[in-house]
Amino acid sequence: MNKFVNFLVRFARCLCKPLFPVKVIGERDIPNKKSLIVGNHISGWDPLVYTMRMKNIVSFMYKSEFDDNAFLRWVLHGLDCVPVHRGEADMSATKQVLRLLKEDRSVCVFPEGTRNPRVDCLQEFHTGAALFAIKTRSPIRPFYIWDKTKAFAKNYMIVGDEFTLEEFYDKTLDKSTLEEATAVIWRKVDELRIRLNEILAEKGVRRRRRTKKEQAKLDAYERSLAETTGSQEDDA
């Protein structure tokens, strides 16, 4: 990592904390070591939420379009973040993540692949995280962000215990194995979702109301799901 960029990020997160109040449940002092950090993805602010509230600085996977902005590209590359060309098999990104893990670095991945307009459920996970964890035998640290981040609106994040996919280390790394391992990762993150909902329900905490823009995106997403489901039923 670029030391100057690292310093700027640590300084900037101190300034941003009052703007984005987030309560963390679970371990915050995660060791800087070979590990895969895996969580849900409901907002473009998710990497910032994690970086602000956790003591370690990790490298994120991010969509390559952010590289169009010179300043963002400088910051992201300075943190050894990995650009991903979505919609294709990006072998360059895969190799970069594997290299970082083999160098005993921490990498954060959002296996849903894109932001989820539904804040209280998980989308299907892509198999990349399982591939990275198994090939490098890296432990996985799950986390779950409760709501879409908005300035001055209190949010919550829960961090789970580290686990491994060691039961898959000696299996043939084929599609079936990756899907089975991915299901394990999905369940670990979903368990955090359920646990955090239970904790906040006991305290009487409710999510904020959606903005018109957020509601419009959710409505469009729901229509898209309905159309996809209807098309699949017609094909059957």
The β-bridge partners of 144 are 158
- Higher-confidence residue: 41 or 229? 41
Q: Which amino acid is at 95?
A: K
pLDDT attached to residue 221: 84
Q: Which residue from 107, 133, 112 is spatially nearest to 189, judged by alpha carbons?
A: 112
Give the pLDDT confidence score for residue 210 in this predicted structure. 85
Tokens of 2: 């670029």
What does the pLDDT read at residue 229? 65
Domains in the chain: boundaries: 3-205, 210-236
Q: What is the reported pLDDT for 31?
A: 87
Which residue, 125, 160, 112, 170, is CA-closest to 139? 160
State pLDDT tens for residues 61-91. 999 999 999 999 999 999 999 999 877 778 9
To the nearest whole number, what is the mean pLDDT of the chain? 91
Whether the pLDDT of residue 96 is over 90: the answer is yes
What is the model's pLDDT at position 226?
80
pLDDT in tens, 115-163: 998 889 999 999 999 999 999 999 999 999 999 988 889 999 999 999 9
Confidence of residue 236 (pLDDT cuts 50, 70, 90): low
Q: What is the pLDDT of residues 206-217, one digit of tens each?
A: 998 888 888 888
3-205: CATH topology: Glycerol-3-phosphate (1)-acyltransferase (3.40.1130)
pTM: 0.90
CB 138 within 8 A of CB 36: yes
User: What DSSP letter does each residue of 167-200 carry, written as one string?
Assistant: GGTTS--SHHHHHHHHHHHHHHHHHHHHHHHHHH
